[in-house]
Amino acid sequence: MPHTVVILAYPGCQLLDVSGPWQVFASANDLSGRELYRLHLAADAPGSVATNGGLPLLADTAWSDLASLGPLDTLLVAGGRGIVTQRQRPALLAALRDQARQVRRLGSICTGAFLLADAGLLDGHQATTHWRHCTELASEYPKIRVVPDALYVESAGRFTSAGVTAGIDLALSLLEADHGSTLAGQVARELVLFLRRPGGQSQFSEVLRSQNRAQGALRKLLDRLHADPGAPHRLEGMAESIGVTPRHLSRLFRQQLATTPGAYLTRLRLEQARLALVASERSPPLEPLARQWRLGGAEQLRRLFQRHYGISPSLYYQRFGPKGPVATATATTPRLSNDG
Protein backbone atom coordinates (compact mmCIF):
# COMPACT_ATOMS: atom_id res chain seq x y z
CA MET A 1 0.00 0.00 0.00
CA PRO A 2 1.23 3.53 -0.68
CA HIS A 3 2.50 5.61 2.21
CA THR A 4 0.05 8.46 2.86
CA VAL A 5 2.11 11.62 3.38
CA VAL A 6 0.52 14.89 4.50
CA ILE A 7 2.30 18.25 4.60
CA LEU A 8 0.67 20.96 6.71
CA ALA A 9 0.64 24.43 5.13
CA TYR A 10 -0.77 27.77 6.28
CA PRO A 11 -0.69 31.43 5.21
CA GLY A 12 2.90 32.63 5.32
CA CYS A 13 4.52 29.20 5.21
CA GLN A 14 7.83 28.79 3.39
CA LEU A 15 7.20 27.58 -0.16
CA LEU A 16 10.31 25.37 -0.33
CA ASP A 17 9.45 23.74 3.01
CA VAL A 18 6.44 22.27 1.20
CA SER A 19 7.60 21.87 -2.39
CA GLY A 20 11.04 20.42 -1.56
CA PRO A 21 9.93 17.34 0.39
CA TRP A 22 6.87 16.98 -1.85
CA GLN A 23 9.06 16.73 -4.95
CA VAL A 24 11.25 14.05 -3.37
CA PHE A 25 8.23 11.81 -2.78
CA ALA A 26 6.67 12.68 -6.15
CA SER A 27 9.93 11.87 -7.96
CA ALA A 28 10.06 8.52 -6.16
CA ASN A 29 6.63 7.75 -7.64
CA ASP A 30 7.76 8.80 -11.12
CA LEU A 31 11.06 6.94 -11.13
CA SER A 32 9.63 3.74 -9.65
CA GLY A 33 6.60 3.73 -11.95
CA ARG A 34 4.39 3.04 -8.94
CA GLU A 35 2.41 5.08 -6.42
CA LEU A 36 4.73 4.61 -3.48
CA TYR A 37 3.47 7.79 -1.83
CA ARG A 38 -0.03 9.27 -1.76
CA LEU A 39 0.53 12.99 -1.22
CA HIS A 40 -1.82 15.49 0.40
CA LEU A 41 -1.51 19.16 1.30
CA ALA A 42 -3.52 20.10 4.38
CA ALA A 43 -4.54 23.61 5.44
CA ASP A 44 -7.45 25.31 7.23
CA ALA A 45 -9.64 24.38 4.28
CA PRO A 46 -9.19 23.04 0.76
CA GLY A 47 -8.15 25.79 -1.62
CA SER A 48 -5.47 28.40 -2.12
CA VAL A 49 -2.81 29.03 0.54
CA ALA A 50 -0.51 32.07 0.16
CA THR A 51 3.14 31.30 0.94
CA ASN A 52 5.53 33.88 2.39
CA GLY A 53 6.94 34.52 -1.07
CA GLY A 54 3.49 35.24 -2.48
CA LEU A 55 3.20 32.13 -4.69
CA PRO A 56 0.03 30.24 -3.71
CA LEU A 57 -0.30 26.54 -3.01
CA LEU A 58 -3.45 24.48 -3.46
CA ALA A 59 -4.51 22.46 -0.42
CA ASP A 60 -6.73 19.43 -1.03
CA THR A 61 -7.60 18.65 2.60
CA ALA A 62 -8.56 20.49 5.78
CA TRP A 63 -6.38 19.59 8.75
CA SER A 64 -9.56 19.12 10.79
CA ASP A 65 -10.62 16.38 8.35
CA LEU A 66 -7.44 14.30 8.17
CA ALA A 67 -9.33 11.24 9.40
CA SER A 68 -11.04 11.10 5.99
CA LEU A 69 -7.70 10.16 4.42
CA GLY A 70 -7.47 6.95 6.38
CA PRO A 71 -4.34 5.97 8.36
CA LEU A 72 -1.52 8.47 7.85
CA ASP A 73 2.04 7.26 7.51
CA THR A 74 3.85 10.62 7.67
CA LEU A 75 2.77 14.12 8.72
CA LEU A 76 5.17 17.02 8.21
CA VAL A 77 4.68 20.63 9.38
CA ALA A 78 6.17 23.35 7.19
CA GLY A 79 7.98 26.36 8.64
CA GLY A 80 7.85 30.03 7.77
CA ARG A 81 6.95 33.35 9.34
CA GLY A 82 3.27 32.36 9.45
CA ILE A 83 4.10 29.80 12.15
CA VAL A 84 3.84 32.58 14.76
CA THR A 85 0.07 32.82 14.19
CA GLN A 86 -0.40 29.05 14.02
CA ARG A 87 1.21 28.63 17.43
CA GLN A 88 -1.68 30.55 19.00
CA ARG A 89 -4.37 28.11 17.78
CA PRO A 90 -5.40 25.56 20.46
CA ALA A 91 -7.56 23.58 18.02
CA LEU A 92 -4.62 23.02 15.67
CA LEU A 93 -2.35 22.00 18.54
CA ALA A 94 -5.00 19.55 19.73
CA ALA A 95 -5.30 18.11 16.21
CA LEU A 96 -1.54 17.56 16.07
CA ARG A 97 -1.60 15.81 19.45
CA ASP A 98 -4.42 13.58 18.19
CA GLN A 99 -2.50 12.69 15.02
CA ALA A 100 0.67 12.00 17.01
CA ARG A 101 -1.09 9.05 18.65
CA GLN A 102 -1.71 7.39 15.29
CA VAL A 103 0.76 8.58 12.67
CA ARG A 104 3.94 6.52 12.18
CA ARG A 105 6.18 9.52 11.53
CA LEU A 106 5.57 13.06 12.72
CA GLY A 107 7.99 15.77 11.68
CA SER A 108 8.71 19.36 10.79
CA ILE A 109 10.75 21.46 8.44
CA CYS A 110 12.64 24.38 9.96
CA THR A 111 10.54 26.56 12.31
CA GLY A 112 7.67 24.11 12.05
CA ALA A 113 9.39 22.52 15.04
CA PHE A 114 7.96 25.28 17.21
CA LEU A 115 4.41 24.13 16.46
CA LEU A 116 5.26 20.57 17.48
CA ALA A 117 6.98 21.94 20.58
CA ASP A 118 3.93 24.02 21.52
CA ALA A 119 1.84 20.87 21.30
CA GLY A 120 4.27 19.12 23.68
CA LEU A 121 5.19 16.60 21.01
CA LEU A 122 8.96 17.09 21.20
CA ASP A 123 9.32 16.87 24.99
CA GLY A 124 11.99 14.33 25.86
CA HIS A 125 13.17 14.14 22.26
CA GLN A 126 16.14 15.40 20.32
CA ALA A 127 15.21 18.04 17.74
CA THR A 128 16.60 20.75 15.52
CA THR A 129 15.43 23.79 13.60
CA HIS A 130 16.94 26.61 11.52
CA TRP A 131 20.31 27.60 13.02
CA ARG A 132 18.99 31.11 13.69
CA HIS A 133 16.36 29.77 16.10
CA CYS A 134 18.07 26.85 17.85
CA THR A 135 18.90 28.86 20.96
CA GLU A 136 15.34 30.12 21.15
CA LEU A 137 13.92 26.61 20.84
CA ALA A 138 16.20 25.34 23.60
CA SER A 139 15.38 28.29 25.85
CA GLU A 140 11.60 28.11 25.45
CA TYR A 141 11.41 24.32 25.70
CA PRO A 142 13.98 22.97 28.17
CA LYS A 143 12.52 19.45 27.86
CA ILE A 144 13.76 19.30 24.24
CA ARG A 145 17.38 18.30 23.58
CA VAL A 146 18.21 20.69 20.75
CA VAL A 147 20.93 19.57 18.31
CA PRO A 148 22.00 22.87 16.74
CA ASP A 149 24.29 21.57 13.97
CA ALA A 150 21.94 18.91 12.64
CA LEU A 151 20.54 18.97 9.13
CA TYR A 152 17.83 16.64 10.44
CA VAL A 153 17.24 14.50 13.51
CA GLU A 154 15.19 11.38 14.16
CA SER A 155 14.12 10.75 17.74
CA ALA A 156 11.64 7.94 18.47
CA GLY A 157 9.36 8.69 15.56
CA ARG A 158 9.81 12.47 15.67
CA PHE A 159 11.64 13.96 12.70
CA THR A 160 12.84 17.56 12.64
CA SER A 161 15.00 19.34 10.11
CA ALA A 162 16.96 22.56 9.82
CA GLY A 163 16.22 25.49 7.54
CA VAL A 164 14.41 25.32 4.22
CA THR A 165 16.44 22.99 1.96
CA ALA A 166 17.15 20.64 4.88
CA GLY A 167 13.56 19.46 4.45
CA ILE A 168 14.75 17.87 1.21
CA ASP A 169 17.55 16.08 3.09
CA LEU A 170 14.97 14.81 5.57
CA ALA A 171 12.62 13.60 2.82
CA LEU A 172 15.46 11.72 1.11
CA SER A 173 16.28 9.99 4.38
CA LEU A 174 12.63 8.94 4.83
CA LEU A 175 12.55 7.65 1.25
CA GLU A 176 15.75 5.67 1.84
CA ALA A 177 14.31 4.17 5.02
CA ASP A 178 11.14 3.14 3.15
CA HIS A 179 12.53 1.91 -0.17
CA GLY A 180 16.31 1.64 0.08
CA SER A 181 19.33 3.59 -1.02
CA THR A 182 19.07 2.66 -4.71
CA LEU A 183 15.80 4.50 -5.29
CA ALA A 184 16.79 7.32 -2.94
CA GLY A 185 20.02 7.71 -4.89
CA GLN A 186 18.11 7.80 -8.17
CA VAL A 187 15.86 10.56 -6.84
CA ALA A 188 18.85 12.51 -5.54
CA ARG A 189 20.57 12.29 -8.92
CA GLU A 190 17.38 13.27 -10.74
CA LEU A 191 17.02 16.36 -8.55
CA VAL A 192 20.80 17.04 -8.66
CA LEU A 193 21.21 16.66 -4.90
CA PHE A 194 23.48 14.97 -2.38
CA LEU A 195 21.90 11.81 -1.03
CA ARG A 196 23.71 12.66 2.19
CA ARG A 197 24.84 16.25 2.21
CA PRO A 198 28.31 16.61 3.83
CA GLY A 199 28.59 18.45 7.11
CA GLY A 200 25.96 20.18 9.19
CA GLN A 201 24.21 23.51 9.00
CA SER A 202 27.00 25.33 10.84
CA GLN A 203 28.89 25.36 7.53
CA PHE A 204 26.19 27.78 6.39
CA SER A 205 25.50 29.66 9.62
CA GLU A 206 29.12 30.51 10.36
CA VAL A 207 29.65 31.96 6.89
CA LEU A 208 26.33 33.77 6.76
CA ARG A 209 26.52 35.15 10.28
CA SER A 210 30.01 36.49 9.77
CA GLN A 211 29.35 37.95 6.34
CA ASN A 212 26.13 39.57 7.54
CA ARG A 213 27.74 41.08 10.64
CA ALA A 214 30.88 42.34 8.93
CA GLN A 215 30.77 45.80 7.39
CA GLY A 216 32.73 47.87 4.92
CA ALA A 217 36.31 46.85 4.24
CA LEU A 218 36.14 43.87 6.60
CA ARG A 219 33.24 42.43 4.60
CA LYS A 220 35.37 42.59 1.44
CA LEU A 221 38.24 40.86 3.22
CA LEU A 222 35.96 38.04 4.41
CA ASP A 223 34.77 37.51 0.85
CA ARG A 224 38.41 36.96 -0.20
CA LEU A 225 39.11 34.63 2.72
CA HIS A 226 36.05 32.52 1.98
CA ALA A 227 36.97 32.35 -1.70
CA ASP A 228 40.40 30.85 -0.94
CA PRO A 229 40.82 29.84 2.72
CA GLY A 230 43.84 27.65 1.95
CA ALA A 231 45.98 30.52 0.70
CA PRO A 232 48.85 31.72 2.95
CA HIS A 233 46.91 34.61 4.48
CA ARG A 234 49.09 36.56 6.91
CA LEU A 235 47.96 39.30 9.25
CA GLU A 236 50.12 41.95 7.58
CA GLY A 237 48.93 41.02 4.09
CA MET A 238 45.27 40.94 5.10
CA ALA A 239 45.58 44.35 6.73
CA GLU A 240 47.38 45.83 3.75
CA SER A 241 44.74 44.51 1.34
CA ILE A 242 42.10 46.73 2.92
CA GLY A 243 44.37 49.66 3.74
CA VAL A 244 44.59 49.36 7.54
CA THR A 245 47.27 48.46 10.05
CA PRO A 246 47.45 44.95 11.53
CA ARG A 247 46.47 46.40 14.90
CA HIS A 248 43.41 48.10 13.42
CA LEU A 249 42.43 44.91 11.57
CA SER A 250 42.52 42.97 14.82
CA ARG A 251 40.33 45.66 16.37
CA LEU A 252 37.81 45.33 13.52
CA PHE A 253 37.60 41.56 14.01
CA ARG A 254 37.03 41.97 17.74
CA GLN A 255 34.42 44.68 17.31
CA GLN A 256 32.41 43.12 14.50
CA LEU A 257 32.98 39.36 14.88
CA ALA A 258 34.11 38.95 18.51
CA THR A 259 37.17 36.97 17.46
CA THR A 260 40.69 37.42 16.12
CA PRO A 261 41.86 37.20 12.49
CA GLY A 262 43.84 34.05 13.27
CA ALA A 263 40.98 32.31 15.07
CA TYR A 264 38.56 33.20 12.31
CA LEU A 265 40.85 31.86 9.60
CA THR A 266 41.46 28.66 11.58
CA ARG A 267 37.73 28.04 11.90
CA LEU A 268 37.21 28.70 8.20
CA ARG A 269 39.97 26.26 7.25
CA LEU A 270 38.64 23.67 9.69
CA GLU A 271 35.27 23.82 7.92
CA GLN A 272 37.03 23.03 4.62
CA ALA A 273 38.91 20.13 6.19
CA ARG A 274 35.64 18.78 7.57
CA LEU A 275 33.94 18.97 4.17
CA ALA A 276 36.89 17.24 2.52
CA LEU A 277 36.81 14.53 5.18
CA VAL A 278 33.16 13.59 4.72
CA ALA A 279 33.36 13.78 0.92
CA SER A 280 36.08 11.09 0.75
CA GLU A 281 35.15 7.53 -0.20
CA ARG A 282 37.72 6.34 2.33
CA SER A 283 38.76 8.12 5.49
CA PRO A 284 41.76 10.18 4.34
CA PRO A 285 44.99 10.36 6.37
CA LEU A 286 44.91 13.40 8.63
CA GLU A 287 48.47 14.62 8.11
CA PRO A 288 48.09 15.68 4.43
CA LEU A 289 44.59 16.99 5.15
CA ALA A 290 45.98 19.22 7.89
CA ARG A 291 48.81 20.42 5.67
CA GLN A 292 46.44 21.13 2.78
CA TRP A 293 44.39 23.50 4.92
CA ARG A 294 47.33 24.93 6.91
CA LEU A 295 46.13 23.44 10.19
CA GLY A 296 49.46 22.14 11.48
CA GLY A 297 49.65 18.37 11.72
CA ALA A 298 47.39 15.43 12.37
CA GLU A 299 47.39 15.86 16.14
CA GLN A 300 46.48 19.53 15.94
CA LEU A 301 43.64 18.68 13.53
CA ARG A 302 42.33 16.11 16.01
CA ARG A 303 42.38 18.69 18.81
CA LEU A 304 40.57 21.25 16.63
CA PHE A 305 37.86 18.75 15.73
CA GLN A 306 37.37 17.85 19.36
CA ARG A 307 37.24 21.49 20.44
CA HIS A 308 34.87 22.75 17.76
CA TYR A 309 32.73 19.71 16.95
CA GLY A 310 33.01 17.68 20.15
CA ILE A 311 34.10 14.56 18.27
CA SER A 312 37.26 13.07 16.75
CA PRO A 313 37.81 13.15 12.95
CA SER A 314 37.53 9.36 12.74
CA LEU A 315 34.20 9.25 14.55
CA TYR A 316 32.98 12.22 12.53
CA TYR A 317 33.80 10.34 9.32
CA GLN A 318 32.03 7.21 10.55
CA ARG A 319 28.92 9.23 11.31
CA PHE A 320 28.82 11.60 8.34
CA GLY A 321 30.97 10.02 5.65
CA PRO A 322 29.50 8.47 2.48
CA LYS A 323 28.80 5.20 4.26
CA GLY A 324 27.76 6.72 7.58
CA PRO A 325 24.30 6.51 9.11
CA VAL A 326 21.62 8.47 7.27
CA ALA A 327 19.14 8.91 10.12
CA THR A 328 20.91 11.72 11.96
CA ALA A 329 22.94 13.81 9.55
CA THR A 330 24.24 16.33 11.97
CA ALA A 331 24.94 24.36 13.55
CA THR A 332 21.36 32.36 18.00
CA THR A 333 19.19 34.50 17.49
CA PRO A 334 16.46 36.76 16.83
CA ARG A 335 12.81 35.88 17.37
CA LEU A 336 11.07 33.96 14.61
CA SER A 337 11.38 35.91 11.40
CA ASN A 338 11.13 34.96 7.73
CA ASP A 339 13.15 31.75 7.92
CA GLY A 340 11.53 28.49 6.81
Active site residue 110: yes
Rounded CA-CA distance 11/140 in Å is 24
Rounded CA-CA distance 190/319 in Å is 25
Q: Angle CA(171)–CA(109)–CA(120) in degrees, nearest 5?
A: 120
> What letter represents residue 42's amino acid?
A
Choice among 66, 110, 122, 151 that is catalytic: 110
* Spatial strand order in the sheet of 37-43: 61-62, 37-43, 3-8, 74-77, 105-109, 158-161, 152-155
Rounded alpha-carbon distances, angstroms, from residue 86 to 12, 176, 312: 10, 31, 41
Q: Name, in order, each residue with C-beta under 8 angstroms of 163's C-beta and a sequence gap of 6 or more.
A: 79, 110, 129, 130, 131, 132, 201, 204, 339, 340
Rounded alpha-carbon distances, angstroms, from residue 108 to 146, 181, 187, 192, 331: 14, 22, 21, 23, 17
The residues assigned a catalytic role are 110
